[in-house]
Copies of this chain bind each other. A is one copy, B any other.
Amino acid sequence: MWAIAPLKPRTENPGMMKMMVSDLKTEKRFIRHLVEKRTQIEEANAQDIADADVAVKAGKLSSSLFKRLDVSGAKFDTLLKGIDEILNLPDPIGQVTYANKVAEGLDLYRLTCPIGVLLIIFEARPDAAVQIASLAMKSGNALLLKGGKEAQRSNAALVTAMSAALRDVGLPADCIQGVDTRTEVAELLKQDKYIDLVIPRGSNELVRSIKDASRIPVLGHADGICAVYVDSKADLDKAAKIVVDSKTHYCAACNSMETLLVHQDVCANFLPKLAAALAGKEDVRYKADPVCRPHLPSGITEPAQEEDFDTEFLCHTMAVKAVASVQEAIDHINSHSSGHTESIVTEDPVAAEAFLSKVDSAGVYHNCSTRFADGFRYGFGAEVGISTNRIHARGPVGLEGLVIHKYRMYGSGHTAAGFSGASPEHTFLHAPVRGVDRVEDIPQAKKVRT
């Protein structure tokens, strides 16, 4: 039975915990403990896979989910390498993001610090558990992990290994806990006093149901209804290449293209070219408007319905629509997209700038595939998810999305009253302070260390 222990990291202050984590290289211990328990983890994983295999054969589980379950062999090595990469990222905690001399002898610093306790709900991908736990530890956060039930044994084995690593370095093993059932999740969603952020990775329905059930802030990783717009000034070969990649590189991902918008002047030239490029791919289907339909292969093309432009297909089906201008493309996207990632293909820099500045999505691209919307590809090392929220973090969320800040102020007896009256004791200067980039650079903090 899961216990209400997330309280513990909070009262022990995530900030301190981070210092311990950093000092003791917990992430290295993670690797050691995972290696030591490799046999147990792979055995648990084999059991999950065996069960899933039965379910796939009975038509109860998708093969794409099945593929993601495996963490054995080479995948285990990749997983270890991933932890190592996260370990080598710069420390996200203790960065000074605002330094101001408020008055003579009164200094203000804003420092990054952990958010606190995170509840992460993710799909049946045991490798995600390890990646997320590494990011959480690197950023000094405590973590409650609920993975897809198909990976339950694998996740339990991984959490056991990671908790042992924590205990090994003198941290509460409770800093990482597994959550097994939906009933437990429902209970946890009520604990807004102890849990600071919920990150659900999954469908819009999952994200909405969690928002309905909880006062805890939610960082939703939800559907991606991404569009590519092929402009009248597009290089059509480039456009075909980008659309093929955006749609078929990994169609189950949220950053894959679902909607294709084509300038009406190039429909006749572009669409047959695209169809030819996609001819070798399995299960390609077009749901096209009347302008585009004649230019697409008849056997696999059907009339688009209004709702097709609001659908995340997650397969090789796409909705196709002709537009009369870049502005019409922008308007379509701002009405229909999920605000995830959109790309314009054009050789006209003016059209590109209009698209990038007016499209209101987390990612706006020029002449490249929507598939780049990803924490690793953005250079963050890894990600906990991709946010379509409009506060805190938007787009791929790496370590930066797992931190918040606190303000330190150092005075020498300063009072607010001292700044007012006929002859005030102090006056506001509000002068930026240069050269203080990390907590270690704060002069008052330095004194203690040396």
Contacts and interface: CB of A to CB of B under 8 A. Distances in A.
A106 B371 CA distance: 13
A156 interface: no
B364 A406 contact: yes
Contacts of A217: 217-218, 389-392
A368 B417 contact: no
Contacts of A75: none
A186 to B, nearest CB: 16
Nearest to A405: B394
A123 interface: no
A67 interface: no
B15 A357 contact: yes
A391 B406 contact: no
A10 to B, nearest CB: 7
Interface centre among A19, A110, A215, A358 (most CB of B within 10 A): A215
Contacts of A445: 353, 356
A15 B378 contact: no
Contacts of A404: 390-392, 394
A211 B212 CA distance: 9
A242 B365 contact: no
A367 B219 contact: no
Interface residues of A, number: 87
* Chain A contact surface mostly: mixed
A409 interface: yes
A350 B10 contact: no
Contacts of A241: 413, 415
Nearest to A14: B360
A243 to B, nearest CB: 10
Given A196-B390, A407-B378, A368 B15 contact: no
Interface in A90-146: 100, 102, 106, 108, 110, 115-116
A64 interface: no
B360 A102 contact: no
A167 interface: no
A331 B11 contact: yes
A406 B416 contact: no
B367 A428 contact: no
A412 interface: yes
B391 A115 contact: yes
A63 interface: no
B367 A413 contact: yes
A390 B349 contact: no
A245 B415 contact: yes
Interface in A340-360: 349-350, 352-353, 356-360
Interface in A389-439: 389-392, 394-395, 404-418, 428, 430
Interface in A203-254: 208, 211-212, 215, 217-219, 235, 238, 241-242, 244-245, 249-250
Contacts of A299: none
A372 B416 contact: yes
A179 B62 CA distance: 49
Contacts of A235: 413
A448 interface: yes
Contact of A444 (B212, B218, B366, B389): B366
A411 B413 CA distance: 55
Contact of A16 (B102, B242, B357): B357
28 contacts: A13-B334, A13-B360, A102-B372, A106-B368, A106-B372, A108-B378, A192-B211, A196-B390, A208-B215, A211-B215, A212-B215, A217-B218, A238-B413, A249-B416, A250-B416, A349-B448, A352-B444, A352-B448, A353-B445, A353-B448, A363-B408, A365-B409, A368-B409, A368-B413, A369-B411, A369-B414, A369-B415, A371-B415
Instruction: Please provide the 7 A-B residue pairs with the shortest distance between their CB atoms, ordered closest to farther.
Output: A368-B411, A245-B415, A371-B416, A379-B430, A392-B392, A211-B215, A238-B413
Interface of A: 10-11, 13-16, 19, 100, 102, 106, 108, 110, 115-116, 192, 196-197, 208, 211-212, 215, 217-219, 235, 238, 241-242, 244-245, 249-250, 330-331, 334-335, 349-350, 352-353, 356-369, 371-373, 377-379, 389-392, 394-395, 404-418, 428, 430, 444-445, 447-448
